[in-house]
Each structure stands twice: as structure tokens, then as C-alpha cells.
Amino acid sequence: MKTFELGYFGNIWVKQNVLELAGEAFNGHEHKFDHVTLLVSGKVSVELEGSDAKEFTAPTFIVIRKEHRHKITALADGTVYYCVYALRDLDGEVMEVFGPQHDPESASARNEGYWEKVKALELT
């Protein structure tokens, strides 16, 4: 299994998970708040503590309820899913955080020398 923290914008965090082979699993854990999992390829079994497993086939989304230990197991090779959730502070309030690396209008996302070229164009 591979996990990639893709980043955030506003109050939304996105994490990519890749299960390359059927049978690979992301072992159980739980969250303090509900979130959604976007299954973009493959098929998974989701086991919630105290409940029977349920199968999902891409493309779809899966609601993961707070405080329920859950385990996701690939039922097909090449399974990819994204966890998407709201960023919250310790009191549960939604936080606004902006990741400039994912904003095409952000200065940090521009190629080196971009702003100098823009200024040169403004002067002519």
C-alpha cells in the first residue's frame, strides 16, 4: 500500500491511497469526524468494527463515520481511493488553511522568473 498526502485548500484535505494488489489492506483506524472516501478505481471491502464488511466498486464514494474503527481491503489489483475530509482544530471547528502549491494563481506555483516577465510586459 502507498499513501500520498496530496494537500489541502480552505478546509479540505486530500490523501491518495494506492492498493496495488488484491488483498492489500489499510488496517483499521478511526477518526474524530465523519469523512468521505472516493473510490476511483478497483473494488474494496470496508469493515467497520462491530458490523459486517460491505463491498464497493469504483467509481463511487464511501462515507466513513466518526469513531468507527474501519479497515479497507482491495478486492482488485490497481485499487485507488482518496480520503477527503475537513480540517478541524482541537475543538472541532473547521480550519481554513491554504496550500499555495496547489493553487495555479499562487506565486509559489509559478515558474522561476514568472513575476519578472509579467513586470517587464507591464512596462512596455
CB 25, CB 1: distance < 8 Å: yes
Segments of the chain scoring below 50 in pLDDT = 124
pLDDT of residue 71: 93
pLDDT for the residue numbered 2: 75
Instruction: Examine residue 59 and say whether the peptide bond preceding it is cis (omega within 30 degrees of 0).
Output: yes
- The pTM for the full model equals 0.70
> Which of 61, 83, 81, 77 has its CA nearest to residue 24?
77
> What pLDDT sits at residue 14?
85
The predicted pLDDT at position 124 comes to 44
Residue 41 sits at φ, ψ, to 5 deg, of -155, 145
* C-alpha grid cell, residue 99: 496550500
